[in-house]
Structure 1
Amino acid sequence: MAEYLGDSQQRRIATYLATWMARTEWPTWLLVIGIYGGWSLTLWFRFNLTLLPTTLLLIGFCVWFMSLQHEIMHGHPTRYIWLNKMLAYAPLAVWYPYTLYRESHLRHHNDADLTLPGLDPETHYVDAAVWQASGRHMRTLYRWRKTFWGRMLVGPSMAILDTWKVAFQQVSCGDFRYVRMGLTHGGLLAGMLAGMQHFFGISWWYYLLFIAYPAMSLAMVRSYFEHRAAPDCKHRIVINETGLPMRILFLNNNYHLVHHDLPRLPWYLIARVYQDDRTDYLKRCGGFNLHGYGGLIRDHGFNPIDAPLHPIAAVRYVL
């Protein structure tokens, strides 16, 4: 458990984890069945639904599946890594092999490195060397990614390219695990896309451009302002008190500081733990508290949330 927790808090959380719900993990098992079942039934009734409703439903299930993958990589619903991997490995969301995503994300959980370019694999800041080497167009993209709509439009492609760039660099250094990951994922993805086109009339390019890419954009709503640069690492992690629909879609990961403090806490207990100690969490996040995502859209739809150059680097370079 997190070192900041008092004895009473630890006992309370231990009590939650000892319940039948947490021991069986039935909410997560139900989620697995619901997401895979909903995605499959949407395809099964594709011709009754017509293309637009099918597209919207598949986008929703893909976003939910990415939230499920995140939950699974933190050790749910079983204690067996190989079984969890099987539950999360399907290429529904297209862009990353589950193993590659898991390795990258778990490195992100070193809170001391949060937001720091070159250390945090999920940062959306750039360091001084990258900024200096970037041309005018690339700097524009970095700034545009810091707006809400820019994040939705170019954020997925930039994240995909960055992740695969790191993977190729590892291969060039002799780490051939990424080749195996890519071939396995690519084979499963090719089979899935071919089956969708053959049986349901959804072409591979349509699924990539109009389902998988928008799904990743929607998933990035949560992470748009999930972290900020701050001296205290806990002040870098948001508490977003959003409404129930987004909490369900993102599996309570909007209470992001709780998740970073207790990364193995299952999704269905995060809100309860947060509400138990809400005052303490709001203090520990240093005022980094949001009330949903609507304000971000209103205030930062086309205005950058902050500078793309990390403040540590900004001392040396002017934007």
Structure 2
Amino acid sequence: MVKQGPVYLHEEQRVVIRQLSRSWLWRSELPTWLVIITVYGGWFTTLAYWKTLGLLPATLVLIGFTCWYLSVQHELIHGHPTRWPRFNQLLGLMPLAIWYPFGLYRDAHLAHHRTHLLTLPDEDPESYYFTPADWHRLPRWQQYIIHLRNTFVGRLLIAPLLDIAQLLAGMVKAFRFRQRSAIAMWLVHIALLALLLLWFRYCDFSPLWFVLAVSYPALAITKVRSFLEHRAADDPLARSVINEAALPWRLLFLNLNYHAIHHDLPGVPWYGLRTLYLRDKAAWQQRNSGFLVRGYSEWLRRFLLKAVEVTAHPGDNIRHD
């Protein structure tokens, strides 16, 4: 066995990764460039010609491009399509989804990739778990809302609202306590939002409609992807799911449904994740202890109105080192 990052790989797997990384397609990052061009071009063009398309068709198309853009931002954070982080950041600064400053998302997500701390509520900024003490301190009505959020329908309807509320509370805290780095990110974000408002005005498209009918549904769709994406488990490699989703979902989420592979090899470009998984499915499934789902419809069937037990973290059984 050969170790690469947090995961042990067979030598033959290392050979496959080396071969793929030397290919022209892998090195050129052409698939990522094509997605970036398509998303930006599609988003701005749809707004420019929404009257020709009609409000409802244009809204549906914009939801798709906005959700896709969130996947693009994730790819930019992980060093694609160039090896220059500042240039990648420029490609993801525009707040096409309205809410999240790219820098804040980047910092929180990279902290989330400290695999040995994954799901721990005090360490993982993207964890849905609470410490046992925090969970028991919550009033009953808040626990009820969390249980509702942990259903599939709740993740669609109220999870984006809870995230937005938490985000805005963080913004107020940043300005109140003069957190310079966060303030700078917010000021850049607000300035770019002002430019987008000018584009909305030029296109005669309602910003309020965009927030309610485009941005919010796009955020809700991303919650489909992250539904039970991580679980508390003693073995860090067993905490991330492998979701054998259908092609439309894989393209929209840029293969993040293969989440265990992504966490094991976060530097692999999105179009390499499925290739690696299909070459050695049994090994990947063994590595993450069989945390496997056969598409998002399985989560829908199992947890439409039933809550996933993602509340108090069972931290006594989790290694912290």
Structure 2: runs of 5+ lacking an equivalent: none
Which position in structure 2 is the counterpart of 1:204? 207
Deviation at 1:164, TM superposition (A): 4.3
Residue 85 of structure 1 corresponds to 89
- The more displaced of 200-209 and 16-25 is 200-209
**Residue correspondences, number:** 313
State how 1:1-319 maps to structure 2 within 5 Å: 1-2=4-5, 3-166=7-170, 168-169=172-173, 174-196=178-200, 198-312=201-315
Contact 1:255 1:270 in 2 (8 A): yes
Q: Which moved more, 1:101-110 or 1:117-126?
A: 117-126
Of residues 182-191 and 305-314 in structure 1, the stretch that sits farther from structure 2 once superposed is 305-314
Distance 1:167 1:50 in 2: 36
Are the equivalent residues in 2 in contact too, given 1:194–1:204 (CA < 8 A)?
Answer: no
Any idea what SS the aligned residue of 1:4 has? strand
1:122-157 residue CA offsets vs partner (Å, 9 max, x unmatched): 111112232232212211111111100111111112
CA separation in 1, counterparts of 2:196 and 2:120?
37
Structure 1, unpaired ranges of 5+: 315-319
What displacement does 1:267 show? 0.4
TM-score of the superposed pair, with normalisation by structure 1: 0.94
User: Cα–Cα, structure 1 residues 232 and 313, in superposed 2: closer, same or farther, change >3 Å?
Assistant: closer
> Do the aligned partners of 2:47 and 2:205 also contact (CA within 8 Å) in 1?
no
Distance 1:239 1:97 in 2: 28
The answer to whether the Cα contact below 8 Å between 1:127 and 1:313 also exists between their aligned partners in 2 is: no
The aligned amino acid for 2:70 is M
Comparing 130-139 with 32-41, which one deviates more in the overlay?
130-139
In structure 2, what residue type is equivalent to 1:16? L
Moved more, 119-128 or 257-266: 119-128
TM-score (norm 2): 0.93
Identity %: 41
Tell me the distance in 1 between the aligned counterparts of 2:310 and 2:86: 41
CA distance 1:97–1:265, change in 2 (3 Å): same
Residues in 2 aligned to 1:113 and 1:141: alpha-carbon distance in whole angstroms: 26
d(CA) in 2 for partners of 1:200 and 1:167?
29
CA contact (8 A) 1:128 1:313 kept: no
